[in-house]
Amino acid sequence: MTTLDSRVALVTGAASGVGQAVARRYLRAGASVVAVDRNPDGLARLDDSGDRLATAVADVGVRSELEAAVGTAVSRFGGLDVVAAVAGISRTGSVLDMSDEDRDAILGVNLVGVWNTVKAALPALLDRGAGGRILACGSVESVLGGVGLAAYVASKHGLVGLIKSVALECAPHGITANVVSPAGVDTEMLRTVVPPEAIQHIADTTPIARLSSPDEIAAFFEFLAGPDAGYITGSNIVVDGGVVLLNSHTTGQSWAS
């Protein structure tokens, strides 16, 4: 048996990056998966030779579209056990310079989009009974601050607070809720937002001096969705290569090592 046999999962942001890696991990682990994204071409790249994959083109900003995706999980696979809210966006700009439209887009996907995903999935998770899992993709910025990243940082801090509260609300039903917060993941989104020379700087200034891979982060989503993670809830698991261990007084200073 694999770790997620007989489990049914819904994954948002599944057309690329960490979301796609999570969907692939879940399929390899034996789960049936409803892969959700706005990008149908990216979803098509998930093509699975078996019958355990369904795709749904949906915007996490539109709860009715997410409810339809949950309906697919129920009608095709018989229910829903795991929801992984991975969809996210990032745009840069100072508080002074960022447009209201960019601010609202970031908060709308990274925070409200997770709210919508959880709210759409909860009835099906409750119907399934104890053992449900709610997972969200945070960021190392959920415990840090960043120049030019105020909207993104705010969205990820808010996300952690949301999932902590969901964890308390769901605990009496045997459903857990957790956040996986990566840093420096080598994805198309990172390379779109960050110039090449800064990408190398991110790698060089991480104690484990490289970027992480989407599959490395997806491994945490697999564990938290499985049978051995039933006593972990309300946690923000930071997977950052040691970034949060650094500070401005010790970074790069040989006397501090």
Residue 104 has pLDDT above 80, yes or no: yes
Residue 96, both tokens: 């002074």
Q: Among 138, 142, 144, 177, which Cα is nearest to 157's?
A: 142
Task: Read off the pLDDT of each residue in 64-89 and give the average, rounded to a whole number.
Answer: 98
Q: Which tens digit of pLDDT belongs to each residue from 125-137? A: 999 999 999 999 9
Domain CATH for 76: 3.40.50.720
> Which DSSP category does 57 fall into?
E
Instruction: State how many domains the chain has.
Output: 1
Query: Does any domain span residue 251?
Result: no
Query: Does any domain span residue 180?
Result: yes
Instruction: pLDDT band for 62, please (50, 70, 90 cuts).
Output: very high
Residue 25 has pLDDT above 90, yes or no: yes
Contacts of 204 (CB under 8 A, 6+ apart): none
Query: Does any domain span residue 151?
Result: yes
Q: Which tens digit of pLDDT belongs to each residue from 219-251? A: 999 999 999 999 999 999 999 999 999 877 666
Query: Does any domain span residue 250?
Result: no
Of all residues in the chain, the percent with pLDDT exceeding 90 is 83
Query: Does any domain span residue 143?
Result: yes
pTM: 0.94
- Residue 205 has what pLDDT? 87
Query: Does any domain span residue 2?
Result: no
| 232: containing domain | 8-238
Q: Which tens digit of pLDDT belongs to each residue from 161-208? A: 999 999 999 999 999 999 999 998 988 888 777 888 888 888 888 999
Ranges assigned E (strand) in the chain: 8-12, 32-37, 53-57, 82-85, 133-137, 176-182, 236-239
Contacts of 197 (CB under 8 A, 6+ apart): none
So which residues are the catalytic ones? 152
Q: Which tens digit of pLDDT belongs to each residue from 137-157? A: 999 999 999 899 999 999 999
Contact assessment for residue 11 and residue 19, using Cβ atoms and an 8 Å cutoff: yes
Query: Does any domain span residue 52?
Result: yes
Contact assessment for residue 90 and residue 13, using Cβ atoms and an 8 Å cutoff: no
Query: Does any domain span residue 3?
Result: no
Q: Among 34, 30, 48, which Cα is nearest to 78's?
A: 34
